[in-house]
Amino acid sequence: MTIGYTVGQLRAAVADAVRAPSLHNTQPWRFRLRDGGIEIAVDPLRGLPATDPTGWGARIACGAALYNLRLALAVAGTPATVRLRPYPADPDVVARLVPDVPRRPTPIEQGLYGAIAHRFSNRAPFWPDPVPAEARWRLGEAARAEQCWLELVIGASAVNALAEVARSAHRVLERDPAYVAERVEWIRSEPAPDGVPAAAGGPHSEPQDLLPQRGFGGRNRAPGRDFEPEPLVAVLGTPGNTGTDQVVAGQALQRVLLTATDAGLGVSMLSQPIEVPGAREALRLSLGRFGTPQMVMRIGYGQPGRATPRRPVDEVLDLPVVPA
Ligand SMILES: Cc1cc2nc3c(=O)[nH]c(=O)nc-3n(C[C@H](O)[C@H](O)[C@H](O)COP(=O)(O)O)c2cc1C
């Protein structure tokens, strides 16, 4: 068994980890090697005080990056044993990964790893084709395999009820000037290593839209190209809602997203109903679920798109300074 990971292994795995999604593409993570273990921590300098005052979104993003790290290490034949939030005195460190017994990657790990580079948030309207039962089942299994639940919201009245909660949360957030300023600050109309490219923002909202789109610049809608009238909406949730539960949710989110990508499905995320406490509670009650909703997703067959930029690996590594 390897005694510890090397800097080379850290770099290679981090290149995959940073492909994870994050609120406004802030990429709120740092990585380091400590006593042979790879550690991932929330980067407090890349927080969103108005949008994410509790740090929920940063922990979800770090959990998603952690899932990519796990896959990358497993596919390289050097799988990890993971300890979540290993230092009670430093809860920003979300996980520590140490080498486990080497083994060959499973076909599932290989398939999901292959999806990392192709995943992106698809905010455009989806085709009306329904998501087949087998793919729905795979998405649920992906969440369960990571100790979370995934509720598929079925039927027009249930989707309408969720949409109403989401729209009212969206209105609450848009009334807060600090929240709006943060959203606008992270829109990128020129090439940039972080933030949401305006071209990835999806079409401008229109009054007939069922689900609220966060405004990231967007483009005009092709005539007749409305959003799908009966979207497949899924809610990911956890039994509890501690910081550790949120890291667990981030891993499950990434597994669901990669499973969807692997199945040829597009996904966009809607977190307005998670960010407004009253809306989150209304969502929980409407699902009749024990536990806490952590993310809402719209899933379907979409047009091809492209991955959004990330900062270079060196910018997110904390390596010891070697004296000259
Ligand atoms: C915690 C969290 C919340 C998010 N909320 C939204 C949202 O409400 N609306 C949206 O369009 N995208 C949302 N996203 C997606 C991010 O904007 C997206 O991941 C980021 O811009 C990087 O782009 P990519 O997913 O294409 O890699 C969210 C992502 C995370 C991790």
pLDDT tens, residue by residue, 219-245: 888 777 889 988 999 999 999 999 999
Which whole number is the average pLDDT over 44-59?
A: 98
Flag whether pLDDT at 279 surpasses 80: yes
Cα radius of gyration (the chain) = 19
Which of 216, 268, 269, 272 maximizes ligand 1 atoms within 8 Å of its Cβ, making it the mutation to test the pocket? 269
Which whole number is the average pLDDT over 78-84?
A: 98
- Alpha-carbon gap, residue 287 to 265, rounded angstroms: 24
Query: Is the minimum distance from the CB of 78 to ligand 1 under 6 angstroms?
Result: no
Query: Is the minimum distance from the CB of 296 to ligand 1 under 6 angstroms?
Result: no
Which of 19, 121, 299 maximizes ligand 1 atoms within 8 Å of its Cβ, making it the mutation to test the pocket? 121
Flag whether pLDDT at 15 surpasses 60: yes
pLDDT given for residue 2 in this prediction = 54
Residue 35 CA to ligand 1 centre (angstroms): 33
pLDDT given for residue 324 in this prediction = 67
pLDDT tens-digit profile of 2-12? 589 999 999 99
- Show the CA angle centred on residue 50, arms to residues 31 and 178, nearest 5°: 135
Tell me what the pLDDT averaged over the chain comes to.
96
**79: phi then psi, degrees, rounded to nearest 5:** -60, 160
pLDDT tens-digit profile of 119-147? 999 999 999 999 999 999 999 999 999 99
Residue 121: strand pairing partners: 267
Q: Model pTM?
A: 0.98
The DSSP element (H or E) to which 297 belongs, if any, is: strand 292-300
